[in-house]
Each structure stands twice: as structure tokens, then as C-alpha cells.
Amino acid sequence: PAPRTVLLTGAAGRIGTLMRDLLPDYGYALRLLDMRPVEGEPDAIVADLADRDALREAVRGVDAIIHLAGISLEASFEKILKANIEGTYHLYEAAREEGVRRIVFASSNHVVGHTPAPAPGEPPVPVGTPRRPDTFYGLSKSFGEDLAQLYWDRHGLETVSVRIGSCFPEPTSVRMLSLWLSPADAARLFHAALTAENVGHTVVHGVSANTRLWLDLTSARALGYEPRDDSEQYAGKLIAEQGEPDPGDPAHRCIGGHFVTDPPVWPY
Ligand code: NAI
Ligand code: 15L
């Protein structure tokens, strides 16, 4: 049967807030979790990923999990270790113990951040490209993908790891023209990842059907994802403001952009 009750971790965050709005239209009943209170949602579970008892209770009875919680920018190794590496492990253990069948894991383009960005006209980077994390943050997402593979091979717990590009209401930089995932396409992709059959552990890129696409969508489309948005409608305005991407600029040389040279740091 198709999953109905879904635990959304990181529900107070940027993507979590967008998905709380969009996913109920696909028929999901969402259970929410975050370390911060979720505005307007008094029933949301306020718990840290370090709290194994709370996680076990939170996952009990859900059909699937969308795992967005964690540090979403660069931080010290110690902080990343606790939130993203140990935290994701605790969530997978809770899911295994409670018999949850599937997790959609928010991975990131920063798993392959050091990969050269394709030049205009070159094909997008395939999902099987060697991993080249650009930060401890990207490294933690690479760990998450390997953890997902282990829990599939060893325990039969399925995961779709979504290497999200840049999920924002609108692209705000020239780089994002190549990496944008519109909120509506994110909901389409999460729905496909929750409902496709026999995914085992599948890695997909999470981007819209952008004209300047850097990340190949073959494996995402194989799940049934049909993106409808294209960042090109914002290209004129962004290029007028910021100029054409300069291939000599390190922030345009690699998929990870400014994370490669000057990563934004988690403020907490
Ligand atoms: P965000 O930083 O807005 O949200 C993350 C949420 O996780 C926050 O509400 C925070 O309170 C919660 N959180 C952090 N540590 C926690 C812990 N130890 N226990 C419980 N909750 C914790 O990030 P955003 O943009 O919503 O991203 C969601 C996920 O998608 C993240 O895992 C991020 O790494 C990933 N991602 C996001 C991209 C984007 O473009 N927004 C791109 C690639 C990946
Ligand atoms: C990410 O992984 C971050 O979580 C998000 O805040 C954006 O910066 C995104 O990558 C990006 O590369 O634009």
C-alpha cells in the first residue's frame, strides 16, 4: 500500500515549512519533528536527533520518513558529527527497530561539490559520478548515503537519497539557475520517492527541469518524477543583476560553488 502517515523531520526548517504546505495535497498525514518548535503546530514533536527514546516514539506507526533535520550548512566537525552523522544513525536505528519501510533522505549537491560544473552545452553530471564532498557538511551527507545503503543491504530498509540542489521559492544567484529545485517540484519528487516501487537504495538528483541543468535527472525520472519548473524564467533578471557566470571564478568552477571556497557557516 502507498504510504500515508509520514514523519517529517526538520519540519521547522526552510524545506520543512514548504513541504508542510504542499505535501498534504498528495494525501499524506504528516507527523512533524524538529529540535525547535514548529510555528503554528502545537502537536509537533520537539526533540533533538540525539534523543533516541523520542525518535523511537516519533517513528512508531509511520509508513515512511522524510528526513530533513540536521545542520544544513558548514560547521565544525564535532557539531556535524553529532547532528548529521550520529543523528541520522539514531533515526535509522529507530526506523529499523520500529519496522519503518522507507526513508527519503535529504542529501545534497555538496556530496559532489568539488566536481567541475559542466560547461554550457556539456551533459549534466551523472548520479554515479565519484563523490567529492566540499565540506564536513557534504561529507556528512555522503555518510548518510552510505548508511542508507547499509540499512538496505543489511536490514531491507529502503531509502531514496535526494541530492538536493538549491530548494528556494526562487533562485537567488546565477549558480542556482543550474541547481534550482522549485518547491512544487520538490513535493513532486518527494511524492515519487515515497511511492515508487522497489527502490532499494536509490540516489537521485533533486533539481527542476532547468535549461542550464548541471545534475542529471535520469534516476529521478525513473522513480516517476516529472519536473515542471525551469529556472530560466529568472535568468534575465539574475544575469542583469549579477553578470554572466565567470568560469574563472572558483564559485562557478565547481558544483558546490562558494561552499568550495568560502562555505556559509551554521549560525547556531
Ligand atoms: P534548515 O536549516 O532550514 O532546516 C533544518 C532543520 O533541522 C531546522 O529546522 C533545525 O532546527 C533542524 N535541526 C537541526 N539539527 C537538528 C537536530 N540535531 N535535531 C532535530 N532537528 C534539528 O534547512 P533546509 O534548507 O530546510 O534543508 C533541509 C534539509 O535538506 C537539510 O538536511 C539540508 O542539509 C538539506 N538540503 C537543503 C538544500 C536547500 O537548498 N535548502 C540543498 C541540499 C540539501
Ligand atoms: C545546501 O546543501 C544547503 O543546505 C542550502 O542552504 C543551499 O545552500 C544549497 O545547498 C546550495 O548549494 O545552494
Each residue's pLDDT expressed in tens, for the chain with a length of 268 residues? 788 999 999 999 999 999 999 999 999 999 999 999 999 999 999 999 999 999 999 999 999 999 999 999 999 999 999 999 999 999 999 999 999 999 999 999 999 999 999 998 999 999 999 999 999 999 999 999 999 999 999 999 999 999 999 999 999 999 999 999 999 999 999 999 999 999 999 999 999 999 999 999 999 999 999 999 999 999 999 999 998 878 778 778 999 999 999 999 999 8
Taking a C-beta distance cutoff of 8 angstroms, is the pair 4, 61 a contact? no
Tally the C-alpha atoms within 13 A of residue 124's C-alpha that lie toward its C-beta: 22
Q: Is the CB of 108 under 6 A from ligand 1?
A: yes
Indicate the pairing of strand 180-181 with strand 45-46. unpaired
Sign of the four-CA dihedral 184, 38, 163, 174? positive
Separation CA 217–CA 214 (nearest Å): 10
Given this model, what pLDDT does residue 246 score? 80
Kindly state whether residue 187 falls inside one of the protein's structural domains: yes
CATH of the domain at 17: 3.40.50.720
CA 66 / ligand 2 centre spacing (Å) = 17
Catalytic-residue membership of 89: no
Given this model, what pLDDT does residue 203 score? 98
Q: What's the structural domain count of the chain?
A: 1
CA 199 / ligand 1 centre spacing (Å) = 24
Kindly state whether residue 266 falls inside one of the protein's structural domains: no
Kindly state whether residue 197 falls inside one of the protein's structural domains: yes
Kindly state whether residue 66 falls inside one of the protein's structural domains: yes
Separation CA 262–CA 241 (nearest Å): 21
Total-model pTM: 0.98
Kindly state whether residue 111 falls inside one of the protein's structural domains: yes
Strand blocks (E) in 53-200 = 64-67, 102-108, 158-164, 166-167, 180-181
Kindly state whether residue 179 falls inside one of the protein's structural domains: yes
For atom 11 of ligand 2, the residue with the nearest CA is 166
From the centroid of its chain, how far is CA 95? 19
For atom 7 of ligand 2, the residue with the nearest CA is 166
Q: Is the CB of 164 under 6 A from ligand 1?
A: yes
Range of the structural domain that residue 117 is part of: 5-261
Taking a C-beta distance cutoff of 8 angstroms, is the pair 70, 136 a contact? no
Kindly state whether residue 267 falls inside one of the protein's structural domains: no
Spell out the residues 6+ positions from residue 142 whose beta carbon is closer than 8 angstroms to its own: 111, 131, 133
- Asked if the interface predicted TM-score (ipTM) of this complex is over 0.95, the answer is yes
Kindly state whether residue 28 falls inside one of the protein's structural domains: yes
